[in-house]
Structure 1
Amino acid sequence: MSRTTVVQCLGGKLKELPVSQVAYFEASDKLVDAHGIDGKVLVITDTIACLEAEFADLFVRTHRSVLVARRLLESVDYSAINSNGTVKLLGVDHPIKASRREVPKIRDILKELWPDDDRTAFL
C-alpha cells in the first residue's frame, strides 16, 4: 500500500503534503521537490525512481527528472525542431518539462483522460 503523504524534514520540523494534493515531483540534485496544487513546495529525500514505482497509478514520468499527476494532465506540446517538450497541468500556470521519448505515452494518457475532447484530435 502506498503512502498517503510525502514528508519534508527540515531543521527537526516535519511538514506533510497529501499525495492527492501533489501536482508534480521534480528532481534536483539528490533531492526531489514535491509541488502542491496550491503552490506549496516540499523538499523530500525520495528519488524519482522510487516515487514512480510507488505511485505508478497516480503519476506519470514526463522527463527523466519529472513525474506529474495523471489526473491533472491537460495537454502536451512537442517541437521536433528544438527537441523540447512540455506538458500543461490543470491548475499549474507554467509548463512542465517533457522529453521526446515520453511524449507518446503522455498522448495515450491524454486520450484516455479526454476521449471526447477536441484537444486530443491533433495528437
Structure 2
Amino acid sequence: MGARDLGERVKDAREAKGLSRRSVAQQADVSYAFVQQLETGVRPDPGARKLKLIAGVLGVTVDELLGDAAESSVPAGTAAKVVHPAREEIDSLLDSLSPDKLIAVRDMVKLLAVTEASSTAPVTV
C-alpha cells in the first residue's frame, strides 16, 4: 500500500463522517498541514500514535485505514525508515496519558526541540 492509498482512505473516511480537515486536525491534536499532507500522500509515514488518533476521530480502525497490512508501504528499491527504540517506547507510554497530559508532553518536546535547534545552530560573526 502506498502513501496515496492511505491518504485516500483517510479522506474517504473523513468525508463520509462529514468532517473538515481542520476539524479532524483539532480533534486528533495534529496540525491542519499534517492532515492535508497525509491525505495527499506527501506524508507517507504518519506514525502509529497519530494514525491511531486520526482513526479514532474518524470512527474507523487503524487496520481499515491501512487496508491490506501485508502489503509493503515502502516502495521497491528504497530503504525503510529506522525507528529508534526509544520512540517506540515513548509512543506506548503516550497511549496511557490523558489529553491534558499529552498536551503538556507536546509542549515539553517543543521546548526541547527549540533548545536543541538553538544549541546546534552555527554561530555567525
**Same fold by TM-score greater than 0.5:** no
Greater fraction of residues in strand: 1
Higher helix share: 2
Q: TM-score, normalised to structure 2's length?
A: 0.24
